[in-house]
Structure formats: structure tokens, C-alpha cells
Amino acid sequence: MIEIEGKQVFTELDELVDPSHTALVVVDMQRDFCAAGWAFDRLGVDLSMYPPMIPRLARLIAAARAAGVPVIYVQMTVLPGRLSESPAQIRFNLRLHLASHAEGEPLQYTLDGSEGQAIVDELVPEPGDLVVKKYRSSGFWGTNLDLLLRSNGIRSVVMTGATTEGCVESTARDALFNDYYVVIAEDCVGSDDRAQHDASLLLMRHRFDLATADEIVSVWSR
């Protein structure tokens, strides 16, 4: 910890992820995005980063529960008839995965209440975990995530999930803008585009603290 003009600032990992004021945020680890046989896989999107990442994230989630760290799942949600999507959001959707999808109908995924919206089987929420539905890339935009964090005395968030350059980075930025410390669990985030994943981690490394799952688990298991 350092002090700057009378303000104490966390600088060490054990301060940043102290279980007494940290939450684990799991972004968009949903079947349609990450699992074989579901929406993105059927489009031919590359999901190869997820099988090795999911067991690490499962271990981190288990360590969080054991240490009393709140686990918050952020769940992408699309309402029937695209009632939750503006024209600008639909244009954003059209830009996703042009290589596999091409310009045409917007992507269909994570319809509210559908099986594809569900969290992947390996990471299913347990009683006591929180689930926040979101309708935009950031888990803070138009949701109660900030309220839940503040209501539980949270000062730091450990960010995990998918995709690194998309909803993870968007949520991480908004977490900072809402005055939370942000730690990226760098081996518990993934993408369907490795180049964008690497570029996002390069960018975030200069803005946030990055740590491996093992390093975070080491703090939580003391």
C-alpha cells in the first residue's frame, strides 16, 4: 500500500484481492458463446481457447467460494423479437464475426430463457452465487451489478470470462470508472480470436493489475 496526498492506495496483490472486499466476476461463460454444439460453434467460430481455460476458472470459482468471496455471474441476454436491441446495437452485432457470418441477418444468441443462454455445465452457479443479466457488452450498463457490489462492501473485482476484448474488457473499464480496483485473471479469460485476445491483454496490462489463477488462489487460500 502507498499513500498519495492522504489517500491510501492498494498496490500489492494480497491487498487488491483481499477476500474481505473482493468479488469474482464471471462474464458470459454461456453455452452459445463457449460450448461445442451451440450458437457460435455452429457458425464455425473458433472456440479452442475455452477447453483449457474453463478448468482453471472452475478452480478459481471454487477457491472464491471457499474463501467467502462473492461469485457474480454476468449473463448476456437478448429479449425475444430483439426488443432489447437498438438499431445501433444491431449494427454492432452485424459487425461481429464477419469472417464466419458475413453481412446478413444479425447473430442469434443467448435468447432470454433459452438453453443457449445458460452458463456452461462446468461452471454452473451454486446457491449463494449471484447472476446479473445484461443487455450490452458491459456488465454495469443497465444492470444492478454496481448496487450488488456496493451493498456487499466490495472494493475490488477479479475479472474472468469471455470475450477478453469484448465483454470482459468493457466490464473491467466500467468497474474502474465506478471506482473499483480491477484485477484481470489473465489465464481465466478467453476469446474466439486469439489476436484480439492478445491485443486486449496487452492494453489492459497497462491499465489494470493482471495475475494468474494460481496467484489469486494462493492469496485466497491463506
Q: Which of the residues are catalytic?
A: 28, 134, 167
What grid cell was written down for 169? 474488457
Using CA atoms, how far residue 171 sits from 3, 25, 89, 162, 221, in Å, is 27, 9, 17, 11, 26
- How does DSSP assign 12-47, residue by residue? SHHHHT-GGGEEEEEE--BHHHHSTTSHHHHTT---
What are the φ/ψ torsions at residue 182 (nearest 5 degrees)? -125, 125
Q: For residues 19 and 187, what is the distance between their CA atoms, to the nearest angstrom?
A: 20
Amino acid 179 reads: D
Helix (H) or strand (E) holding 90, with range, is helix 87-95
Q: Which segments of 97-192 are extended strands (E)?
A: 130-134, 156-162, 181-190
Q: Are 171 and 140 in contact (CB under 8 A)?
A: yes
Q: 154: closest CA among 173, 137, 178? A: 178
How far is residue 36's CA from residue 106's CA, in Å, rounded to a whole number? 21
